[in-house]
């Protein structure tokens, strides 16, 4: 079978979904870990986002993360395009629908709603990239108080979330969509890669469930903490 035929076959598409999805899981680990540096300000109010800004500066100025960022955007686009193609294929196969609707007995609602959850995430990402990535890489950010060579991305976060309940709610909807998308996607990726052994499946399902709760929860705490003033400028 030719490569082009493989990647347009249904197993080829699922394989691309699982590999790009697992790469995005790795990105989320780095992203949530780096962003969690902003909570240093909660424990030491004199931090004023310095730890977070330093970490963001390292990621923005080092060529390895910058090169990976190009791969990240390519994988996000591939994941979205293939995702919609799998959805179209599934709908065509289902035709007029099943004779008997199984509801939650056949599968969980979020497993059947991956395209909808993915679409909500896409809308979230468009808003999110315009909030942070565009100023950080294109339109520019103010300089950090402790070092003029560093960007004050922390100040940008305060600007986006402080006094903006609608934006905070939209971010929370994004985090909830992420949680359900991961709850199915994480274990589904391993099944596609051929993990069927019962013992490994229990382990993977447990890690997947933990990941899909903990990571979106930490992300959700960020706009909440800024909105309620748990972190911010010292005075
Ligand atoms: C809800 C809390 C979140 C906050 C406060 C946050 C904050 C940020 C910030 C400050 C940046 C810019 C980084 C830089 O330019 O150095 C960024 C970039 C990005 N974020 Fe988030 N993020 C959050 C959640 C998410 C989620 C849930 C996703 C994915 C589903 C995501 C995906 C991205 C992507 C793709 C980029 C651009 C790539 C990059 O700069 O590395 N973020 N985020």
**113: CB partners within 8 A, 6+ apart:** 180
pTM reported for the whole predicted model: 0.92
**Among protein residues, the one whose CA lies closest to atom 24 of ligand 1:** 219
Per-residue pLDDT at 111: 92
Per-residue pLDDT at 105: 65
Which atom of ligand 1 is least distant from the CA of 76?
35
Which atom of ligand 1 is least distant from the CA of 156?
10
Residue 9: left (phi > 0), alpha (psi -120 to 50), or beta? Answer: beta
Which atom of ligand 1 is least distant from the CA of 73?
35
The parts of the chain modelled with pLDDT lower than 50 are: none
Cα-to-centroid distance, 220 and ligand 1 (Å):
12
Residue of 53, 60, 125, 133 with the most ligand 1 atoms within 8 Å of its CB, for mutation:
133
Cα-to-centroid distance, 87 and ligand 1 (Å):
26
**Among protein residues, the one whose CA lies closest to atom 41 of ligand 1:** 69
Task: For 113-139, give one letter per residue: b (16+ CB within 10 A) or e.
Answer: bbeebbbbbeebeeebeebbeebbeee
Choices 1.10.357, 1.10.3470, 1.20.1300, 3.40.50: CATH for 3-94+113-227? 1.20.1300
The domain spans of the chain are: 3-94+113-227
Pocket of ligand 1 (CB under 6 A): 31, 35, 56, 59-60, 69, 72, 121, 128-129, 132-133, 136, 153, 157, 171, 174-175, 178, 219, 222-223
Per-residue pLDDT at 51: 97
Cα-to-centroid distance, 32 and ligand 1 (Å):
8
Cα-to-centroid distance, 71 and ligand 1 (Å):
15
Cα-to-centroid distance, 128 and ligand 1 (Å):
7
Per-residue pLDDT at 103: 61
Per-residue pLDDT at 95: 65
Stated as kind and residue range, the H or E segment containing 143 is strand 143-144
Cα-to-centroid distance, 65 and ligand 1 (Å):
14
Pairing of strands 143-144, 147-151: antiparallel
Please choose, from the candidates 24, 22, 28, 16, the residue with its C-alpha nearest in 3D space to the C-alpha of residue 187. 22
Per-residue pLDDT at 192: 92
Cα-to-centroid distance, 116 and ligand 1 (Å):
21
Per-residue pLDDT at 102: 60
Structure tokens at 177: 């969509």
């Amino acid at each position: 079978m030719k490569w082009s035929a493989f990647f347009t076959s249904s197993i080829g598409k699922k394989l691309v979904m699982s590999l790009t999805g697992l790469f995005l899981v790795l990105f989320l680990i780095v992203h949530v870990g780096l962003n969690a540096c902003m909570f240093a300000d909660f424990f030491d109010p004199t931090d004023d986002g310095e730890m977070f800004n330093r970490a963001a500066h390292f990621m923005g100025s080092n060529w390895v993360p910058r090169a990976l960022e190009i791969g990240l955007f390519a994988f996000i686009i591939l994941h979205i395009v293939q995702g919609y193609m799998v959805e179209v294929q599934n709908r065509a196969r289902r035709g007029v629908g099943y004779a008997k609707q199984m509801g939650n007995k056949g599968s969980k609602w979020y497993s059947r709603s991956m395209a909808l959850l993915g679409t909500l995430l896409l809308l979230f990402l468009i808003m999110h990239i315009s909030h942070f990535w565009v100023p950080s890489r294109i339109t520019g950010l103010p300089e950090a108080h402790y070092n003029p060579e560093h960007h004050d991305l922390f100040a940008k976060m305060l600007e986006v979330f402080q006094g903006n309940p609608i934006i905070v709610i939209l971010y929370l909807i994004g985090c909830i969509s992420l949680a359900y998308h991961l709850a199915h996607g994480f274990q589904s990726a391993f099944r596609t890669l051929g993990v069927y052994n019962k013992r490994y499946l229990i382990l993977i399902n447990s890690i997947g469930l933990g990941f899909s709760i903990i990571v979106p929860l930490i992300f959700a705490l960020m706009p909440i903490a800024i909105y309620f003033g748990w972190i911010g400028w010292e005075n």
